[in-house]
Amino acid sequence: MNPLLVEQLIVNFLNEDLGVVGDITSSALPSKRVEAVFIAKEECLLCGLPFARKVFSLYDPSVEFTPLLGEGELLKPGTVFARVEGPVSSILTCERTALNLLQRLSGIATNTRRFVEALKGSRVKLLDTRKTTPGLRLFEKYATRVGGALNHRFGLYDAVMVKDNHIAACGGVEEAVRRVCAVKPATAKVEVEVQNWNELRQLLPVLDLVDIVMLDNWPLEEVPEAVELLRKRSSVKIELSGGITLDTLKRVAALPVDYVSTSKLITAATWVDLSVEVCGDGTAYDERS
């Protein structure tokens, strides 16, 4: 993960809140150092601690952020999972940006873990997709990894994916594959999406140029036959995508495919309930309170 890009994005997040003037409310607070704690209000998988730490350190290096648990650990309601100590104005200026990242990413990691559990015992590997929130892709794809999934391509630059609109623009699967393979970097992998038997058969003459075939929105009962046809011709990897839910994953787990991808890891994730509480009198937070 590019640390310069992470810092740039987090600075942008802070500036979104601070604007030109800064935090006019927190600037009026007494000049004193305090301790605050991060608390889980519901059961979830913890994700985003490195980014929360960076929020505080970029704004005010004197703030000390101390995780009490690790990334990917299961939180129960009431669990104190991090402490922060520093100027009260700095803590309160940064708390919402830090919480936004923690709540969003923990929600994605928690949701992803449910999908991973549905595939438990299967050889099929779970992938995320490029359907991410603009500006948050780096963080959201990190969260799917914490939840136990693997990352699909990050953007248009790190792998070739020939999709339905590329095929339509070229007049067919074979022509689209030949065109892209003529210009792609030698090390870039090629994935081709096929939506029906006609497109699959069109792909066969150029299958040796392809690394991964995606069976997009295929009826699950037809997948074994499609896989058998592909395996006879090549050692190509096979990915299943489209309409994947927690319920369908139980059937997918038994299919002879290599990967299953779904945007639902991110798009169906909800924010988890986390909070920050300042210990105003300087005493440690009492988890029983």
Element (H, E) at 116: helix 88-118
Token duo for residue 286:
């009492």
Cβ atoms of 256 and 224 closer than 8 Å? yes
Q: Which of 35, 140, 191, 193 is catalytic?
A: 193
32 is catalytic: no
What are the C-alpha distances in Å from 103 to residues 19, 36, 47, 98, 100? Answer: 23, 17, 8, 9, 5
Q: Which of 33, 83, 96, 137 is catalytic?
A: 96
What is the rounded CA–CA span in Å between residue 254 and residue 243? 17
Bridge partner residues of 216 (DSSP): 241
What is the rounded CA–CA span in Å between residue 289 and residue 286? 6
**Nearest Cα residue to 75 out of 118, 119, 109:** 109
117 is catalytic: no
123 is catalytic: no
95 is catalytic: no
Q: Which of 128, 140, 216, 239 is catalytic?
A: 216
Residue type, 15: N
Q: Which of 131, 137, 178, 179 is catalytic?
A: 131
What is the rounded CA–CA span in Å between residue 212 and residue 193? 9
247 is catalytic: no
Q: Which of 33, 83, 137, 163 is catalytic?
A: 163
What is the rounded CA–CA span in Å between residue 213 and residue 206? 12
Query: Quick count: other Cβ atoms within 10 Å of Cβ 27?
Result: 10
Cβ atoms of 35 and 282 closer than 8 Å? yes
Bridge partner residues of 13 (DSSP): none
What amino acid positions are annotated as catalytic residues?
96, 131, 163, 193, 216
